[in-house]
């Protein structure tokens, strides 16, 4: 086989102009029409000197050596560390450009699936900073100090970081407070080289409206010394503290949190409000991380669903019941399904707390439950789906079509799987109704949420096809 001749060599330096930007924030330089180089922290239009760092068969990577011109879309140059950390890869791009990028990404993904549908401008935040209601950060003893920050990619080197730019500032402060108290009592931290030590992560959640604070120590060891003194110090230092949890999560068994929680102090969960409804949030429950845009998202999704008092609706991938509970008063019945037991228990509690009596939350795998419902001849008017990043399954789509709701409202946190699923739903006799709506739940990052509404084709349409 002839050797492919690549258009660049490793370590070669070149002067180039950046052509485009990938959704993860990497600049794209087309060396030839078919061979791109990806360059971190390089914006479209900028003229830069690059050094090639990796050469693969179809693409390569390079780093910026010198920037000869600066894009008028560039900002936050003092926050370069967030790009290195990977926590805010779009931080160097002006916010309007971030919103435009997300819209065009959604449009492109749909077009790739043959769906030529309008995509509305991305709905953004008035202030796209310090918005997250939750964070989890690794800790490590380094140079005689307990350090919190991020692991440099592919290393066991923890780079200190205290200003995450996207977290509620009170959360960033709480991380430092707890870290310093653990340091004072010389608590061990998990050492990734030796695979020993206790604390792996500190997690903090804060209610946007309630200001209730939850601190979780995620530990590789079942106990830590001086627990009582640590509890007293944390409690004294954080007046908003409502829940202090010890999560036993041995590194060999769990990536992040385990289901094994022990309340060190206060409550086992915190509360917050969403569209006027109150929700209990436990340490393991999924809860949308951007409370401000979540209200916009849910409100829009409910409007687009065109709910009627006689409707039976499904809330699938329901988490702690947020979507169903916020619309229950507008419909006849809500049927929810979710696979995490703690989240279903929270959903049932949340129903009672909000005096909702027409909702039922089931613990089941959504595709399995959909088959059961379809076989039982359930005929919901509206089906809401809000799956994790991997999206829906063919089984779930088939069962949905069998139930034949007038509308499917698809809330997605991953436009790649959404576009794939949308093509399948359209093929099964539905049409995308109006524009697909991106909502910026995750400013400064490459993620984007979308709402897509499908309406069932009328019989005459089906006859034509």
386 forms part of the interface with ligand SAH (CB under 6 A): yes
| Beta bridge partners of residue 314, listed in sequence order | 335, 383
> Looking only at residues 89 through 118 of this chain, which bind ligand SAH when binding is defined by CB under 6 A?
none
Report yes or no: 377 and 400 within 8 Å, Cβ to Cβ.
no
288 forms part of the interface with ligand SAH (CB under 6 A): yes
Based on CB atoms, which residue is closest to ligand SAH, 174 or 340?
340
Among 286, 361, 373, 454, the residue binding ligand SAH under the rule CB under 6 A is 286
363 forms part of the interface with ligand SAH (CB under 6 A): no
Q: Single out the segment in contact with ligand SAH by CB under 6 A; choices: 146-154, 335-343, 354-362, 402-410.
A: 335-343
124 forms part of the interface with ligand SAH (CB under 6 A): no
Structure tokens belonging to residue 19:
């052509």
Based on CB atoms, which residue is closest to ligand SAH, 175 or 320?
320
Report yes or no: 176 and 185 within 8 Å, Cβ to Cβ.
no
Structure tokens belonging to residue 380:
């919901």
Among 37, 204, 305, 337, the residue binding ligand SAH under the rule CB under 6 A is 337
Q: How far apart are CA 439 and CA 19, in angstroms?
A: 26
Q: How far apart are CA 316 and CA 376, in angstroms?
A: 17
Point out the residue whose Cβ comes nearest to ligand SAH: 319
Residue 413 designated active-site = yes
317 forms part of the interface with ligand SAH (CB under 6 A): yes
Q: For residue 72, count CB atoms less than 10 angstroms from its CB and return exposed for 0-12, middle for 13-18, buried for 19 or more.
A: exposed
Among 160, 222, 388, 434, the residue binding ligand SAH under the rule CB under 6 A is 388
307 forms part of the interface with ligand SAH (CB under 6 A): no
We find the least distance from the C-beta atom of residue 393 to ligand SAH, in angstroms, to be 8
Q: Single out the segment in contact with ligand SAH by CB under 6 A; choices: 28-36, 303-311, 332-340, 436-444.
A: 332-340
- 447: Cβ–Cβ under 8 A, 6 or more apart, which residues? 413, 414, 441
For the chain, how far is it from start to end, CA to CA, in angstroms? 48
| C-alpha distances out from residue 237 to 29, 90, 180, 242, Å | 50, 34, 11, 12
Among 340, 351, 399, 403, the residue binding ligand SAH under the rule CB under 6 A is 340
We find the least distance from the C-beta atom of residue 424 to ligand SAH, in angstroms, to be 17
Whose CA is closest to 122, among 418, 439, 447? 439
We find the least distance from the C-beta atom of residue 115 to ligand SAH, in angstroms, to be 23
Report yes or no: 316 and 324 within 8 Å, Cβ to Cβ.
no
Q: How far apart are CA 454 and CA 433, in angstroms?
A: 5
> Buried (b) or exposed (e) across 298-336, using 16+ Cβ within 10 A?
bebbbebbebeeebbbbbbbbbbbbbbbbbbeebebbbb
365 forms part of the interface with ligand SAH (CB under 6 A): yes
* Catalytic residue of the set 62, 139, 385, 413: 413
338 forms part of the interface with ligand SAH (CB under 6 A): yes
Chain positions contacting ligand SAH, by CB under 6 A: 286-288, 317-319, 322-323, 337-340, 343, 365-366, 386-388
Report the binding-site residues for S-adenosyl-L-methionine: 288, 317, 338, 386
Residues with catalytic annotation? 413
Report the binding-site residues: 288, 317, 338, 386
């Amino acid at each position: 086989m002839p050797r492919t001749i690549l258009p660049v060599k490793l370590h070669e330096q070149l002067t180039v102009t950046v052509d485009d930007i990938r959704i993860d924030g990497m600049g794209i330089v087309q060396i030839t029409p078919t061979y791109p180089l990806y360059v971190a922290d390089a914006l479209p239009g900028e003229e830069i000197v690059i050094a090639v760092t990796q050469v693969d068969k179809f693409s390569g990577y390079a780093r910026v050596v010198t920037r000869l011109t600066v894009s008028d879309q560039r900002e936050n140059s003092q926050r370069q560390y967030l790009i290195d950390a990977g926590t805010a890869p779009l931080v160097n791009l002006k916010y309007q450009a971030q919103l435009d990028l997300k819209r065009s990404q959604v449009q492109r993904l749909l077009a790739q699936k043959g769906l030529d549908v309008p995509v509305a401008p991305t709905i953004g935040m008035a202030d796209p900073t310090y918005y997250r209601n939750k964070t989890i950060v690794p800790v490590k003893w380094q140079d005689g100090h307990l350090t919190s920050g991020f692991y440099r990619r592919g290393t066991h080197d923890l780079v200190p970081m205290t200003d995450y730019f996207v977290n509620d500032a009170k959360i960033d402060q709480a991380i430092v407070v707890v870290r310093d108290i653990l340091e004072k009592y010389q608590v061990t931290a998990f050492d990734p080289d030796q695979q020993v030590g206790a604390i792996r992560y500190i997690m903090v959640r804060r209610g946007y409206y309630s200001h209730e604070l939850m601190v979780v120590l995620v530990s590789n060891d079942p106990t830590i010394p001086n627990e009582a003194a640590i509890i007293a110090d944390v409690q004294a230092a954080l007046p908003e503290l409502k829940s202090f949890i010890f999560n036993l999560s041995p590194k060999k068994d769990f990536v992040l949190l385990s289901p094994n929680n022990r309340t060190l102090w206060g409550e086992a969960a915190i509360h917050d409000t969403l569209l006027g409804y109150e929700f209990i949030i436990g340490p393991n429950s999924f809860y949308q991380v951007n409370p401000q845009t979540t209200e916009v998202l849910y409100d829009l999704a409910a409007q687009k669903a065109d709910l009627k008092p006689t409707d039976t609706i499904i809330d699938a991938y329901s988490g702690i019941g947020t979507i169903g509970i916020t619309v229950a008063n507008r419909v006849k019945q809500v049927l929810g399904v979710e696979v995490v037991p703690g989240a279903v228990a929270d959903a049932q509690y949340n129903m009672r707390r909000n005096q909702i009596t027409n909702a039922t939350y089931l613990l089941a795998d959504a595709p399995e439950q959909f088959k059961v419902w379809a076989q039982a001849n359930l005929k919901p008017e509206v089906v809401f789906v809000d799956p994790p990043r991997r999206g829906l399954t063919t089984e779930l789509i088939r069962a949905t079509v069998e139930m034949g709701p007038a509308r499917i409202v698809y809330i997605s946190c991953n436009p790649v799987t959404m576009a794939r699923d949308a093509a399948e739903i359209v093929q099964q006799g539905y049409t995308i109704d109006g524009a697909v709506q991106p909502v910026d739940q995750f400013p400064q990052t490459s993620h984007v949420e979308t709402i897509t509404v499908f309406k069932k084709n009328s019989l005459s349409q089906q006859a034509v096809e």
